[in-house]
């Protein structure tokens, strides 16, 4: 007879403990979510800024340069079908949305420090960035998410690329020497 209330109060106690554990867990979870969002928000903001001022959009966002940047952000950095033709062949700005989606942040930092893509990709500018800037750029592009199609494949110098492409003029002839 006396076992019943004791059993009952034990259950209540257990439920209270469970409640405390759950509330604590939820609190921790929410606080960490909040922090993560705050950090990501800052990184994304900085990455957006870098992609604008470092000129990544100029080539990697179709139509960006000629519209003075008037392209909706959801279409940014999806690469371009406009080829760049020169003595190196014809190159196409990569789809960075797909590119970053296939790399971890560490892999990106590694790539950015070692890659030497063909012209006119200004890779030395990317290499001059700090780890923090590279990381911000990565988080911004991952935040935009994968979208678009892969850019056309490189066309070797001895082959005719399909239009559209921009041609780099041949280098100027050497200056005449003074007599």
By the criterion CB under 6 A, which residues form the site for ligand HEC?
A: 54-56, 58-60, 84, 91-94, 96, 99, 115, 117-118, 120-122, 125-126, 137, 154
Q: Between 169 and 176, whose beta carbon lies closer to ligand HEC?
A: 169
CA distance 179 to 174: 15
Question: Is the CB of residue 81 less than 8 Å from the CB of residue 62?
Answer: yes
Q: Give Cα 89 distance to the centre of its chain.
A: 26
CB of 26 to ligand HEC, least distance (A): 39
Whole-angstrom distance, CA of residue 69 vs CA of residue 57: 8
Closest approach of Cβ 45 to ligand HEC, in Å? 17
Nearer to ligand HEC, 60 or 139 (CB): 60
- Smallest separation, CB 120 to ligand HEC (Å): 4
CB of 17 to ligand HEC, least distance (A): 52
- What is the distance of C-alpha 71 from the center of its chain? 17
Q: Which residues contact 128 (CB under 8 A, 6 or more apart)?
A: none
- Tell whether omega for the bond before 164 is within 30 degrees of 0, i.e. cis: yes
Instruction: Kindly tell me which of 117 and 146 has the beta carbon lying closer to ligand HEC.
Output: 117
Half-sphere exposure of 170 (CA within 13 A, CB side): 2
Hey, which bits of the chain come out as E strands?
A: 83-86, 89-91, 165-167
Question: Would you say 40 or 55 has its CB closer to ligand HEC?
Answer: 55
Smallest separation (angstroms) from ligand HEC to the CB of 49: 12
- For ligand HEC, the closer of residues 40 and 101 by Cβ is 101
């Amino acid at each position: 007879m006396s076992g019943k209330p004791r059993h009952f109060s034990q259950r209540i106690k257990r439920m209270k403990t469970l409640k405390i554990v759950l509330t604590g867990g939820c609190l921790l979870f929410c606080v960490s979510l909040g922090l993560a969002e705050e950090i990501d928000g800052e990184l994304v903001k900085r990455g957006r800024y870098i992609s604008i001022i470092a000129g990544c959009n100029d080539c990697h966002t179709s139509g960006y340069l000629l519209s003075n940047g008037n392209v909706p952000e959801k279409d940014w950095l999806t690469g371009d079908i406009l080829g760049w033709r020169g003595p190196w062949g014809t190159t196409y700005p990569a789809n960075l949305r797909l590119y970053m989606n296939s790399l971890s942040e560490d892999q990106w930092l590694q790539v950015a420090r070692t890659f030497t893509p063909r012209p006119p990709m200004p890779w030395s500018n990317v290499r001059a960035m700090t780890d923090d800037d590279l990381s911000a750029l990565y988080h911004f592009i991952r935040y935009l998410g994968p979208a678009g199609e892969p850019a056309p494949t490189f066309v070797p110098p001895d082959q005719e690329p399909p239009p559209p492409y921009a041609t780099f003029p041949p280098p100027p002839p050497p200056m005449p020497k003074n007599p």
